[in-house]
Amino acid sequence: NYGESVILSASKPGNSCQVSQQKITVSGTVSGLTVTCAPTTYLISGTNGTGALVSISGTTESNTATSAGTFGFNAKFGETVTLTATKEGYTCTVDGLPITLPAYNVQANVVCEPNTYSIRGSTDGATITVSGSSVSNEVTVSEGTYQLSAKYGDGIYLSATKVGYTC
Are 98 and 81 contacting, i.e. CB atoms less than 8 angstroms apart?
Answer: yes
Beta-bridged to residue 39, according to DSSP, are: 15
pLDDT of residue 133: 62
What would the pLDDT profile of 27-59 be if each residue is shown by its tens digit? 777 778 899 999 888 888 888 878 888 888 998
**How high is the mean pLDDT of the chain?**
83
pLDDT of residue 136: 60
pLDDT of residue 150: 83
Are 39 and 78 contacting, i.e. CB atoms less than 8 angstroms apart?
Answer: yes
Are 117 and 111 contacting, i.e. CB atoms less than 8 angstroms apart?
Answer: no
pLDDT of residue 157: 84
CB-based burial, 93-132: b 16+ in 10 Å, e otherwise: ebeeeebebeeeebebbbbbeeeeeeeeeebeebebebeb
CA distance 105 to 93: 20
Residue 95 has pLDDT above 90, yes or no: no
What would the pLDDT profile of 114-151 be if each residue is shown by its tens digit? 998 888 888 888 888 887 766 665 676 777 888 888 88
